[in-house]
C-alpha cells in the first residue's frame, strides 16, 4: 500500500521501517507508536531524500531529544569549520542538527550535512532566502519564499521551521501590547518586517495549503516557529505569545488533515514558575503536538553562562512534558559558537533532557543512574567514567589529582564515606590515621 508521509502510513495502518526503528529504540510496541503518529502526538521527521537518516521519534512517551544549531553566517562563513562541529555533534550522539546558515555557500553546506548525517536535519528556509535570491527582504515575493522551502525539501531537510503563526491578526495583537524586547525570533522578525514593508499577509500563512503540498511531497515535518517567543522573562506568557500559539493550534489541525507531521516551537526566556503552565498551554491549544523549546532561559543576567540558565529551564520543561530541547551554548546572545561552546551546550542539554525523562518516568530512563550509583558505591572509577554522560572531563579531573589511596579522591582521602561504609559493612576497621592492616 502506498503512503505519502509517516502520518499517512500510520493512518492507513502501515508500519514503516522508520516506525520499526523508533519503536525498538524507545522500547515501545510498534502498534502503540503507530497510533501516536496517526494522532500527531509523536512525529518521526524523515524526509524521503535523507538517505543517511537514523530516525528518531519526538513526542508523547518518547525520550526527550536534543537539537544542535550550526551553520555559516556572513561574519563566519567557513564551511570546513562548521563541518568539524557537525562531526563532533554526531560523535556526541545529538539526535538533531538545525542548519541556520544565512550567508555564503548555504546549499553546499546543507547538502553535505544531509549526506553524512544520521541525525535529523532541520532548516529555517527564510534565513536562506535573502542570500539565495541576492535580494533585499522587501523585494522577495511570496512565491520565492515558498520555492526556498521546496529547495530545502529537495535537499533532504527532515523538518523546517516556518513562522506561519505571525499573521496580520497576531501582528496587530503585538502592536497593541507593548513588549520590552519586541520580536526576538530572527525568522519572526524578518517576516514581520516583510509584512510591514510590503503591506502583505504572512506568505506562509496566506499560502499555507501550498506549503503543505511541499511538506507532503517530501515528508517534511513542519516545525511551526514561535515568532513571538519571549526574549526576556518580562515578556513571557504575554498576549503576543499566546495569540500566536492559538494560531499555531489551528494550523496544526490543517496540517494533520493533509497528513503533514507537526512540531510546535516554544519559548524562549521565562521564569521557572511559568514553564509548567506553558507546556500545558501548548499541549492544550495545539492538540498534543510535540513541543520543542529553546531553553527556556530562566534569567536574563547570565551572558556567557546561558547553557546553564537554559539547562535549568529545559529540565523543568522536559519534566513537565516538553519533547524536544534546542541546546543553548555559552555563546548565546554573544557570537557564533565555537567547537568548545557547542560541546558545552550539548552536554548541558543532554543533562536537562535526561533529568526531564526521569521526572516524566520514561521507561528505563533511571537505569543508568542506578548503575552509576552502584559504581560509586563500589568505588569503580572506570565504570563511573564509562557511564558518565560525557567521560572526558571526569577522567581528566581524576587523573589531574590522584589520591594516595585508590579507593578515595583528593577531596576526602581516607575519610571518604563510600570507602568507610564499605569497610564497616564488611566488618573491617576503617584505619583513617594508620595504614590498613
416 annotated among ligand-binding-site residues: yes
Confidence of residue 153 (pLDDT cuts 50, 70, 90): very high
Give the mean model confidence (pLDDT) for residues 303-311: 98
434 annotated among ligand-binding-site residues: no
> How far is it, in rounded angstroms, from Cα 275 to Cα 240?
17
Looking at 29-43, 72-86, 284-298, which range is the least confident one?
72-86
127 annotated among ligand-binding-site residues: yes
Query: What pLDDT sits at residue 76?
Result: 80
C-alpha grid cell, residue 71: 551553520
Q: Is the pLDDT assigned to residue 86 strictly greater than 90?
A: yes
226 annotated among ligand-binding-site residues: yes
Better pLDDT: 409 or 157 = 157
Give the mean model confidence (pLDDT) for residues 330-338: 94
292 annotated among ligand-binding-site residues: yes
Give the mean model confidence (pLDDT) for residues 200-213: 98
Rounded mean pLDDT of the chain?
Answer: 95
Better pLDDT: 261 or 402 = 261
Greatest Cα-to-Cα distance within the chain, rounded to the nearest angstrom: 86
Is 200 in a helix, a strand, or coil? coil
Q: Is the pLDDT assigned to residue 121 strictly greater than 90?
A: yes
pLDDT in tens, 65-76: 999 999 988 888
pLDDT in tens, 287-299: 999 999 999 999 9
pLDDT in tens, 337-391: 999 999 999 999 999 999 999 999 999 999 999 999 999 999 999 999 999 999 9
Are 185 and 163 a contacting pair, CB within 8 Å? yes
Domains and CATH numbers, the chain: 43-360 (3.20.20.540), 374-425 (no CATH)
Query: What pLDDT sits at residue 1?
Result: 64
Query: What pLDDT sits at residue 436?
Result: 63
Is 419 in a helix, a strand, or coil? helix
Cis peptide before 296 (omega within 30 of 0): yes
Q: Is the pLDDT assigned to residue 168 strictly greater than 80?
A: yes
> How far is it, in rounded angstroms, from Cα 385 to Cα 262?
38
Query: What pLDDT sits at residue 102?
Result: 85
54 annotated among ligand-binding-site residues: no
Q: Which residues contact 100 (CB under 8 A, 6 or more apart)?
A: 69, 70, 71, 123, 124, 127
> How far is it, in rounded angstroms, from Cα 372 to Cα 53?
31
Give the mean model confidence (pLDDT) for residues 195-214: 98
Query: What pLDDT sits at residue 382?
Result: 94
69 annotated among ligand-binding-site residues: yes
Q: Is the pLDDT assigned to residue 172 strictly greater than 70?
A: yes
In sequence order, which ranges of 230-300 are alpha helices (DSSP H)? 239-257, 272-285
365 annotated among ligand-binding-site residues: no
The per-residue DSSP string of 42-83 comes to EE----TT-TT-----EETTSPPEEEEEE---SS---HHHHH
409 annotated among ligand-binding-site residues: yes
Is the whole-model pTM more than 0.85?
Answer: yes
Q: Is the pLDDT assigned to residue 207 strictly greater than 90?
A: yes
227 annotated among ligand-binding-site residues: yes
Give the mean model confidence (pLDDT) for residues 182-203: 97
376 annotated among ligand-binding-site residues: no
Q: Is the pLDDT assigned to residue 426 strictly greater than 70?
A: yes
Q: Is the pLDDT assigned to residue 437 strictly greater than 60?
A: no
218 annotated among ligand-binding-site residues: no
229 annotated among ligand-binding-site residues: yes
Amino acid at each position: 500500500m502506498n503512503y505519502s508521509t509517516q502520518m499517512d502510513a500510520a493512518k492507513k495502518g502501515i508500519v514503516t521501517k522508520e516506525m520499526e526503528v523508533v519503536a525498538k529504540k524507545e522500547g515501545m510496541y510498534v502498534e502503540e507508536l503507530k497510533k501516536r503518529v496517526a494522532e500527531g502526538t509523536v512525529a518521526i521527521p524523515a524526509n524521503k531524500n535523507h538517505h543517511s537518516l537514523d530516525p528518531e521519534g519526538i513526542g508523547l512517551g518518547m525520550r526527550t531529544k536534543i537539537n544542535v544549531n550550526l551553520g555559516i553566517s556572513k561574519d563566519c562563513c567557513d564551511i570546513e569549520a562548521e563541518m568539524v562541529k557537525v562531526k563532533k555533534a554526531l560523535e556526541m550522539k545529538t539526535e538533531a542538527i538545525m542548519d541556520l546558515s544565512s550567508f555564503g555557500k548555504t546549499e553546499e553546506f546543507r547538502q553535505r550535512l544531509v549526506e553524512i548525517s544520521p541525525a535529523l536535519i532541520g532548516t529555517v528556509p527564510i534565513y536562506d532566502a535573502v542570500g539565495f535570491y541576492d535580494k533585499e527582504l522587501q523585494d522577495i515575493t511570496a512565491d520565492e519564499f515558498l520555492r526556498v522551502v521546496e529547495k530545502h525539501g529537495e535537499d533532504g531537510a527532515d523538518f523546517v521551521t516556518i513562522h506561519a503563526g505571525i499573521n496580520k491578526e497576531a501582528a496587530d495583537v503585538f502592536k497593541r501590547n507593548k513588549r520590552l524586547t519586541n520580536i526576538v525570533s530572527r525568522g519572526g522578525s524578518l517576516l514581520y518586517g516583510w509584512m510591514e514593508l510590503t503591506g502583505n499577509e504572512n506568505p506562509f500563512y496566506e499560502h499555507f495549503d501550498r506549503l503543505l503540498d511541499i511538506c507532503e511531497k517530501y515528508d517534511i515535518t513542519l516545525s511551526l516557529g514561535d515568532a513571538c517567543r519571549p526574549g526576556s522573562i518580562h515578556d513571557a506568557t504575554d498576549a503576543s505569545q499566546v495569540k500566536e500559539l492559538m494560531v499555531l493550534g489551528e494550523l496544526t489541525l490543517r496540517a494533520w488533515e493533509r497528513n503533514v507531521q507537526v512540531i510546535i516551537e516554544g519559548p524562549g526566556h521565562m521564569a521557572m514558575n511559568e514553564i509548567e503552565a506553558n507546556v500545558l498551554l501548548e499541549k492544550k491549544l495545539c492538540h498534543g503536538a510535540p513541543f520543542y523549546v529553546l531553553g527556556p532561559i530562566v534569567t536574563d543576567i547570565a551572558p556567557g553562562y546561558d547553557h546553564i540558565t537554559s539547562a535549568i529551564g529545559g529540565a523543568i520543561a522536559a519534566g513537565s512534558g516538553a519533547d524536544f530541547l534546542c541546546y543553548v551554548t555559552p555563546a548565546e546572545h554573544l557570537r557564533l559558537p565555537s567547537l568548545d561552546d557547542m560541546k558545552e551546550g550539548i552536554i548541558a542539554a543532554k543533562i536537562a533532557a535526561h533529568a526531564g525523562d526521569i521526572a516524566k518516568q520514561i521507561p528505563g530512563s533511571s537505569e543508568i543512574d542506578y548503575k552509576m550509583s552502584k559504581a560509586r558505591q563500589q568505588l569503580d572509577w572506570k565504570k563511573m567514567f564509562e557511564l558518565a554522560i560525557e567521560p572526558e572531563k571526569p577522567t581528566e579531573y581524576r587523573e589531574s589529582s590522584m589520591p594516595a589511596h585508590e579507593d578515595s579522591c583528593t577531596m576526602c582521602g581516607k575519610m571518604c564515606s563510600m570507602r568507610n561504609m564499605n569497610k564497616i559493612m564488611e566488618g573491617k576497621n576503617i584505619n583513617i590515621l594508620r595504614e590498613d592492616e
